Amino acid sequence: MKVWVSLALLAALLPLGQRFALMSAEKPGEATEIRASYRRPATILFPDDNPYSAAKAGLGQMLFFDPLLSRSRTVSCATCHNPSLSWGDGLAHAIGEDPRGLPLRSPTLIDVAFSEPLGWDGKFRDIEAVTFGPITGRANMNLTESELIERLSTAPAYGDAFANAFGDRAITRPRIEAALATFERTIVAGESPFDRWITGDDAAISAPAKRGFEIFNGKARCSSCHSGPSFTDGSFQDIGTATGDNIGRGRLFPTSQKLRYAFKTPTLRDVTRRAPYMHDGSVATLEQVIELYNKGGIDRPSRSPSIRPLFLTADEKSDLIAFLQTLTASSPAVPFPEVPGQRAP
């Protein structure tokens, strides 16, 4: 069971920017319905066994930015999930303690509360389950659970913070997971020009961008996967680009033909700030991303049925880029400093 935490009172601090059937926006009623389906939620989803508290989120923020969580004391969670880089790192491959780097790109944490399971292959059931993967990963932060708890236990500030968050000074793995997950769930997209447009400001985006929105939901079929307020349905798709041994979700389901080379559909929020693109950072620009989808990718049994040649014109590609540019907030997404109240869904 989940509970929802209301964000209504925070609109003045940081305004908030379903899987949809493909449909034409030619009819006014349909156009209105499509726009409404992208409106930002007024609440953040928190699990009932890890409810929100300001003290817990504050502890999570301390942990998130502290290089104490890595063996060398130089790498923090924020190394790969930098707020100024839209909670990514701007690299084709994440780099932690091992200078050779990791095989995949660091995903953004924007709207992570709305996108479980997590990981490019979906191996993490929720945010709590992600926590010690990077911390104990040899190429990432390379610190054992016992060493981390010992380090935190000798830091008086952490004893106080754990006591404020949980009622006593005990430092345990479940509490570390709960605190970091609570903080990360507060990382949501900021208001973008697109958000202002769908809530009534007709001048918030350009005419090309409006045409691009229709293409996004129509001819280009982008919304078959990049749907909803976070512009992802959380699915895993082979878009016909991955090759070699990195087979994505297929690693977890080796007998599934459809999940071979399937990777998680990422959010498009702040997309212009988050190059390079794809799970492996192999595509440098949005223009190249559009061209990749236009061609349809490698034709193979695992390829998503939504992926096939689009035959977009040069003008349509340009309009689609104009629309994607409207999804970037005026300033990088930041966590809410406080989340007041909560209610059951």
**What six digits make up the tokens of 329?**
């907030």
Of the candidates 281, 269, 56, 67, the residue with the CA atom closest to the CA atom of residue 165: 56
Q: What is the pLDDT of residue 45?
A: 84
Query: Which residue spans within the chain are E strands per DSSP?
Result: 2-6, 43-47, 236-237, 263-264
Give the three-class secondary structure for 248. Answer: strand
Neighbours of 71 (CB within 10 A): 18
What domains does the chain contain, in order, with CATH numbers?
54-186 (1.10.760.10), 191-326 (1.10.760.10)
**What six digits make up the tokens of 157?**
């500030």
Distance CA 15, CA 7 (A): 9
On whether the CB atoms of residues 49 and 8 are closer than 8 A, the answer is: no
Q: Is 93 annotated as a binding residue?
A: no
Of the candidates 169, 244, 208, the residue with the CA atom closest to the CA atom of residue 318: 208
Q: What is the pLDDT of residue 21?
A: 34
Q: What is the pLDDT of residue 23?
A: 37
DSSP 106: P
pTM for this entry: 0.88
Distance CA 244, CA 172 (A): 39
Q: Report how far Cα 292 is from the mean position of its chain's Cα atoms.
A: 21
Give the three-class secondary structure for 295. Answer: helix
Q: Is 55 annotated as a binding residue?
A: no
Q: What is the pLDDT of residue 131?
A: 97
CA atoms within 13 A on the CB side of 282: 9
45-70 pLDDT, tens digit each: 899 999 999 999 999 999 999 999 99
Q: Is 100 annotated as a binding residue?
A: no
Positions of the chain with pLDDT under 70: 1-29, 332-345
Give the three-class secondary structure for 277. Answer: strand
Q: Is 80 annotated as a binding residue?
A: yes
**What six digits make up the tokens of 212?**
């691009």
DSSP codes, 186-228: TB-PBP-HHHHHHTT-TTSS-HHHHHHHHHHHTTT-GGGTS-T
**What six digits make up the tokens of 188?**
């949501």
On whether the CB atoms of residues 294 and 310 are closer than 8 A, the answer is: yes
